[in-house]
A and B are shown apart, each in its own frame.
Chain A
Amino acid sequence: MSRGVTCGIVLTAGLLSVPVMASGLVAGRATPWPDGVLPGRAEQSNGRHVMRAPFTARRSQALVMTPRPVEIRVRHLDDDRSGLRPLEESLFMAFVEKERFPSAMARKTYHYLVNEIWNELREHTGNPVDLARHFARTASGNSDDVIRDYALQHLAAMKEKHVLSIQLEALAAALNEDGVPLAGTTLIGLRSISEQSADPRALERIRDKVPHIIKSQEAPETARITAFALAGELRIQEIMPEAFQVIEDESSSTPLRLAAMRAIGEIGRKEDLDKLLNSETAGWNPLIHRELRKIALSIDSTAQTRPSNP
């Protein structure tokens, strides 16, 4: 059986300029004929061929080319294959932190652009520590909740091992905010970190916080949905009463009930199935109906290995 090759974000860490000592020549070989994608043409034989921009696209055009459709800005980010310059990094970070909002750009479009900029920074940065701090600052200080949410996502997605303490500190801070507005995203971030790192702190914090968020009256419903999903994934038993409470509450939203139901399916016992089926919540929504059937099958097939309630 072959091993997997992970194609995630790679720590390039500014290695591009590092001289490599005592190695044989490294040389590119081009085809002897012009090669690449042929330009198609409009109309007659001598009609001018339609070519893309003659100069290398630059990432920074994503910021300065105004007014420009956001798709074109993002294409400038994606097309650029060159290394990221420190000045560019600073420029991008300042763009976000100073909350420079391009004129005539919708808020959602701005969110999209910032997200793409961060994707680019994460992929090409030579200074992961600075970038992690930038995400941490933005996650705590930006006036836009969506941007803060994105910052947490990107911070958690960083794989460089020496930013771990920055990640944990910033995510912990987000979990301690009043009303925990971004608790769900933060928990997912911690989950992602716990999958990559042997450090136990991320997982400990999830196990500690998930029941609190599920029980919290302050936490937004979106965070509770995620908390239930993680409780199921991590088999956090103590959320069972709240899970039943949620699925029996007809005012709960579909995703919340579904996540609670799935959590019961993951960690519930044989007798929980009867309780679930008796809750009379199954029929009105196709997704819940389908999930309930799957859960029933799952509990049934593993009934022998699941302990009964005391």
Chain B
Amino acid sequence: MNKNQKSLVKSSRCTLCIILGIGMAAGVWSLSLANPRVLSIQEDRGKESMELSVEGLAGHVYLFQKSTNLTAWSFIPDYAVGQGSAFQRWFLVENGPLFFRVLGSDDPDEPWLSADYNQTGISAWDQIHLGYNPFLTEDADFNGLPDVWEVFHYGAIGVDEQADSDQDNLSNILEFYLGTNPRLADEDLIAITPPPLKGAYATPGSVYLDWRHSLSEHSISRYEVFRDGQKIAAVRGYPTSYTDATVEAGSNYTYSVTCVNRLGESSAHTTVEVVTPMASNIPGPWGLTDFNGSDLGPGYAAYHEAEDMYVLSGATRDILNDFCFLYQVFEGDFSITVRVHGVEPTAYWSKAGLAVMNELSSQSLGLSYAFSGKSDAQIQKREVYGAGSGARTTPGVDTEGWLRIVRKGDQWDFYASYDAQNWLRVGHEQLALNDRVYLGIGFAGNNTRKYGSAVFSDLVVEDRNDSDNDGLTDEEEAELGLDPRNADTDGDGFSDFEETMILFSDPEKVDIGSVQVVQQIEGSDRTDSLGAWAGQQDGSLVARDQRGWLEYQVTLPSNGMYRLSLALTEPINPGSDSFHELEFYMGGHFVNRVQVLLDRTESAFAQVITPYLAAGTHTLKVFWDNTLTYRRIAIQSLEVQHLENFGWVQHRLRTINGVLFDEARIQESHISPLQIEGWSKHMDYTEVQWTDGTSLPVQPSPGGQWFCELPLENTNTVQTALLSMENDALQFPVFAKWVAYDLFSRITEEMNVRIHDRLKLCMSEADSDQPGELLIESPDGTISQHTFTKSLAEVTVIFLVPGAYRLRGSLPGISGGPDRQVDLSVHVFDDQLAGDRYLKTSLSEMWSHPKMSFESEFHYDSRLTITEVPPLEGARTFQVGTVGTRPLLAAARLPENGTILDTASVKGVRVSSSLQTSFAVTDVFTDGTEVVTMPVVVSPVVPGMEVRIRIAVQGVTFVDGSLVKILTADDFDELGRATVRFLKAKEVSTSNCYRISVTFPETDGGEP
């Protein structure tokens, strides 16, 4: 038993019960009333099984045994956990007398509970409490480690079997086989081992060897390095690396490293063959300097192409001083990234990382960000020529990983990452350097009497220039074919950023003319509002409370798209973080969400482009989505702007709307209905009208897309649907034809369809003389037969049962030859997602779909965070999270991006309290007791939801003395606000006093 097991709570209660069963033939059962109490026994002769009903005491664990002689007992591989109610088990009853025994206890040290039945090194008690059967060994992730072992030691499965989390040179798989703890270094268990080599890196003048610590029962005294059989160095103490700078270019060497422990015992040697390059092989445009070098010799560099690695070696002083610098010249803004694999710690402050210098001089102004061999990474900056360089440590950034420096003019940002995916911004500096600088990677051993080395990879320099300062980098502009030195490439008065990110006009063509204000409305001229607002003498409207909405009547002179520009300020306490968010709705339809940074006096503009609207009056609703009670906003004015259309409207329409098929061609399908797909930013304005004039439903799908089912009816006849988008601004016909699938064309042998799909089949070679036969075997075993002749040339098959259908067609042979046969497998899917889901924003939860198959595809809106996880209770399951409150879609599709089977939406609900709203003392009693008032804001309020607030700290209650408060949808006003009041005793010193959770009603089959 290991430490973890011993930490489980012990209990003195242990109970055991024997149940006697005397053979099927006798049919006599004995029943014990002791604990665990057997409530009933029922035998089922037909199935030769027995059902036991046992009273399961809460907290007790139950195992089951059987015996034929009451002497030798064997465990039945099953268990139960008492929940304070009865549980049942079914056991097979074989011939002859058989006895069953139920063991129950809540004592983890009970021998039969502390035993390890499945050889995982974990007691049955612990396994059961982790939810695993102690008699089985599951390995759902196929990594060779039992799942229970992974969960016991790491809290989850999916552990990398080769990883070594306690860094004792024993991988997880080895730890499992040795029965050791993977989270605790096991150095004492192992005899001295040869040092594992991490790498051997050669330059023309040096060889750098890097290895990991050996394991030894006794402490390690030193490592010894041999070259061609001769000992050349003894490395003592912390380092596990050595640079040999006595080599010659273009030579072969054999190195070996051995470990010696304090008893003088040596490990076996770790040996490696090394060839030094003839000359520097550093690729252009990189160059190398070591500035003034050292008395020992020059610095070296080499590039290892196979691993894309660079090695720098030298006996150098400090970074930004005399150091090995692999550099290139770069002009303008940039981002440089590198992965540092290791630094040889020839001194405490030996460093390897990124450096930027004004000039190639050890006195030069410059910056660096480098890992140290022994301590946290440091940012260094030399602001004055020839002066020292100030250093700043970035705590928590370890000795290996990725580093990045980003330049924006005189502003420098420093980043670190463990994985090159997630970046930590660790610092910011200001330093005026030349536009043209030297940038690259550097190594400084901080020891001019000893050679040291560092290894790098993933060296990337990116152009981050935004020469025209328009918000798009030069690289982005180049990709878009825009002029990076002109903020407005086409010269139409709108920046490239605005055209590509907001207007969706063509930034390369003058497609927008002048801007004409067609209506100007003062902020206070609203037609409706909710919240507390106050009109000002200057015509603006100032919020008196934390959130609200306003409605304005917008009159458009002609059909078209207009820009709405809302001028705003923050009249009270604006700061660098005064970002406000506003949502715009036109005629009740969502248009966009805008974030603006507000100032007290200078106006900022929240601007959106309307959908294509008809001339006339429309209602604009602006929702100020704020929760902080101290914030205020002033709506100064609303302008309705007409942007003269030289083509931008069409460009925008074609950007935000479209179809996922070739609209110029006839869409042919063997299956009806035919699903067509497209995309639309304003889906509410998209319609499909069928041949007969009926309107077909257009349903949303992930990524702003939609789909529509065309009910094809007449074979080989072109039917037409009229697709209208953006209030008919974009309109075109869709031609579709139902075409029979010729079974003998052998296009495919397998087909995926949805349940209730209709497949039209034919055999073009069949006629009255040579009738074709079709046998259809459905998953439920029914077989139907069809004959193809000239007069009956087509058959429509409707798939009513999910599963695999087998279609076998046959035709008489040609010229008296054998009959020809063809098989077609049709897999019928009946996948359904688990329905729409409410989700608290910033939380991720499991989303299980019991009616979704594992073969179908799952597509989701990329604004959702979704990861598939192992099935829960056999159901396909995803971990889902959302940040926003707008519904986002997920869809199940047939394999290979096939037809959509079902969709469901994830609807975020944001719950804000205390720090996102406020927390104010609103009354103080004479005894010092405070009444604290806290608004709770929910967006949106969902009928049937419950917000449960539970006090978590002593001395605080709600004002009625209770510890729990439940708010229902009725408690929130129209803006989603409710208020709770706490009573806080004088002595309470914490401010963290409650926990908040939300429950939502189940929606359309949503999971609990």
| A201 in the interface (beta carbon within 8 A) | yes
Contact B861 A18 (CB under 8 A): no
Most central of A9, A33, A71, A290 by chain B CB within 10 Å: A33
Choice from B426, B856, B927, B928 contacting A24 with Cβ under 8 Å: B856
Most central of B157, B925, B986 by chain A CB within 10 Å: B925
* Segment of A257-265, A272-280, A299-307 engaged in the interface with chain B: A257-265
A223 to B845, CA, bound (A): 35
CB distance from B106 to the nearest CB of A (A): 9
| A104 in the interface (beta carbon within 8 A) | no
* With known contacts A15-B879, A78-B842, A254-B927, A226–B488 Cβ distance under 8 A: no
* With known contacts A13-B156, A126-B154, A291-B960, A20–B681 Cβ distance under 8 A: no
| B655 in the interface (beta carbon within 8 A) | yes
Contact B928 A201 (CB under 8 A): no
From A13, which residue of chain B is reached at the shortest CB distance?
B156
Contact A42 B604 (CB under 8 A): yes
CB distance from A305 to the nearest CB of B (A): 21
* Segment of B282-290, B808-816, B993-1001 engaged in the interface with chain A: B993-1001
CB distance from B955 to the nearest CB of A (A): 3
Contact A58 B422 (CB under 8 A): yes
* With known contacts A39-B595, A60-B396, A85-B418, A46–B954 Cβ distance under 8 A: no
CB under 8 Å from chain A, chain B span 852-880: 853-871, 876, 878-879
Chain A residues with CB under 8 Å of B17's CB are none
Most central of A72, A81, A161 by chain B CB within 10 Å: A81
1/0 contact string of A5-48 vs chain B (CB within 8 Å): 11111101111111111111111111111111111111101101
Contact A61 B929 (CB under 8 A): no
Contact A127 B1001 (CB under 8 A): no
Contact B425 A153 (CB under 8 A): no
Contact B1001 A48 (CB under 8 A): no
| A138 in the interface (beta carbon within 8 A) | no
Contact A27 B857 (CB under 8 A): yes
Contact B954 A254 (CB under 8 A): no
A285 to B959, CA, bound (A): 12
| A188 in the interface (beta carbon within 8 A) | yes
A87 to B897, CA, bound (A): 38
A255 to B843, CA, bound (A): 34
Chain B residues with CB under 8 Å of A232's CB are 961
Choice from A13, A29, A291 contacting B702 with Cβ under 8 Å: A29
CB under 8 Å from chain A, chain B span 463-491: 469-471, 487-488
CB distance from A275 to the nearest CB of B (A): 18
Chain B residues with CB under 8 Å of A31's CB are 679, 681, 703-704
Chain B residues with CB under 8 Å of A10's CB are 843-846, 879
Chain A residues with CB under 8 Å of B658's CB are 32
Contact A29 B605 (CB under 8 A): no
Chain A residues with CB under 8 Å of B151's CB are 13, 162
Contact B867 A199 (CB under 8 A): no
Most central of B500, B599, B990, B999 by chain A CB within 10 Å: B990
A116 to B435, CA, bound (A): 42
From B464, which residue of chain A is reached at the shortest CB distance?
A54
| B329 in the interface (beta carbon within 8 A) | no
| B851 in the interface (beta carbon within 8 A) | no
Most central of B7, B140, B427, B952 by chain A CB within 10 Å: B952
Choice from B130, B154, B419, B470 contacting A46 with Cβ under 8 Å: B470
Contact A253 B986 (CB under 8 A): yes
Most central of B425, B857, B883 by chain A CB within 10 Å: B425
Contact B426 A33 (CB under 8 A): no
A296 to B678, CA, bound (A): 65
Contact B155 A130 (CB under 8 A): yes
| B59 in the interface (beta carbon within 8 A) | yes
| B141 in the interface (beta carbon within 8 A) | yes
In the complex, how many residues of chain B place their beta carbon closer than 8 angstroms to a beta carbon of chain A?
Answer: 158
| B946 in the interface (beta carbon within 8 A) | yes
Contact A5 B1007 (CB under 8 A): yes
From B594, which residue of chain A is reached at the shortest CB distance?
A38
Contact B423 A55 (CB under 8 A): yes
| A221 in the interface (beta carbon within 8 A) | yes
A195 to B193, CA, bound (A): 52
| B69 in the interface (beta carbon within 8 A) | no
A305 to B151, CA, bound (A): 50
Choice from B602, B839, B876 contacting A43 with Cβ under 8 Å: B602
* With known contacts A87-B418, A255-B955, A258-B983, A127–B155 Cβ distance under 8 A: yes
CB under 8 Å from chain B, chain A span 51-78: 51-53, 55-58, 60-61, 63-65, 71-72, 74, 78
Contact A60 B424 (CB under 8 A): yes
Contact A254 B158 (CB under 8 A): no
Contact A38 B881 (CB under 8 A): no
Contact B961 A259 (CB under 8 A): yes
| B431 in the interface (beta carbon within 8 A) | no
1/0 contact string of A208-238 vs chain B (CB within 8 Å): 0000000000001111011011101100000
* With known contacts A6-B999, A10-B845, A146–B990 Cβ distance under 8 A: yes
Contact A40 B396 (CB under 8 A): no
In the complex, how many residues of chain A place their beta carbon closer than 8 angstroms to a beta carbon of chain B?
Answer: 134
1/0 contact string of A87-122 vs chain B (CB within 8 Å): 110010001000000000000100110010000000
A215 to B857, CA, bound (A): 63
Choice from A61, A146, A185 contacting B952 with Cβ under 8 Å: A185
Most central of A55, A112, A228, A285 by chain B CB within 10 Å: A55
| B501 in the interface (beta carbon within 8 A) | yes
A222 to B956, CA, bound (A): 7
From A72, which residue of chain B is reached at the shortest CB distance?
B577
Contact B844 A12 (CB under 8 A): yes
* With known contacts A81-B883, A201-B59, A253-B929, A184–B495 Cβ distance under 8 A: no
Contact A23 B960 (CB under 8 A): no
CB under 8 Å from chain A, chain B span 120-162: 129-131, 140-142, 151, 154-158
| A282 in the interface (beta carbon within 8 A) | no
Contact A2 B955 (CB under 8 A): no
Contact B955 A223 (CB under 8 A): yes
| A241 in the interface (beta carbon within 8 A) | no
| A192 in the interface (beta carbon within 8 A) | yes
* With known contacts A5-B1007, A63-B396, A233-B963, A255–B929 Cβ distance under 8 A: yes
* With known contacts A7-B1000, A125-B155, A48–B470 Cβ distance under 8 A: yes
CB under 8 Å from chain B, chain A span 123-164: 123, 125-130, 145-146, 149-150, 153, 156-157, 160-162, 164
A58 to B425, CA, bound (A): 7
Contact A32 B655 (CB under 8 A): yes
Choice from B655, B843, B961 contacting A262 with Cβ under 8 Å: B961
Choice from A82, A153, A191 contacting B421 with Cβ under 8 Å: A82
* With known contacts A4-B1002, A42-B597, A200–B59 Cβ distance under 8 A: yes
Chain A residues with CB under 8 Å of B909's CB are 7
A220 to B954, CA, bound (A): 9
Contact B1001 A222 (CB under 8 A): no
Chain A residues with CB under 8 Å of B946's CB are 4
| A168 in the interface (beta carbon within 8 A) | yes
Choice from B142, B962, B987 contacting A220 with Cβ under 8 Å: B987
A108 to B990, CA, bound (A): 8
Chain A residues with CB under 8 Å of B895's CB are 24-25
27 contacts between A and B (CB under 8 A): A3-B1001, A6-B999, A7-B843, A7-B1000, A26-B867, A37-B595, A38-B606, A38-B607, A39-B501, A41-B607, A46-B470, A49-B471, A49-B497, A50-B596, A52-B579, A56-B422, A58-B422, A64-B396, A72-B577, A145-B989, A149-B954, A149-B990, A188-B954, A221-B985, A255-B957, A255-B983, A258-B983
Q: A3-B1002, A4-B1002 are in contact. List 20 more A-B contacts (CB 8 A).
A: A2-B1002, A7-B838, A9-B843, A15-B158, A18-B141, A21-B142, A28-B860, A34-B500, A46-B488, A49-B501, A50-B596, A85-B418, A108-B991, A153-B992, A184-B954, A185-B953, A223-B955, A232-B961, A255-B984, A291-B960
Which 10 A-B residue pairings sit nearest by Cβ, starting from the closest? A184-B954, A222-B955, A40-B596, A29-B703, A18-B158, A14-B156, A262-B961, A28-B862, A13-B156, A31-B704
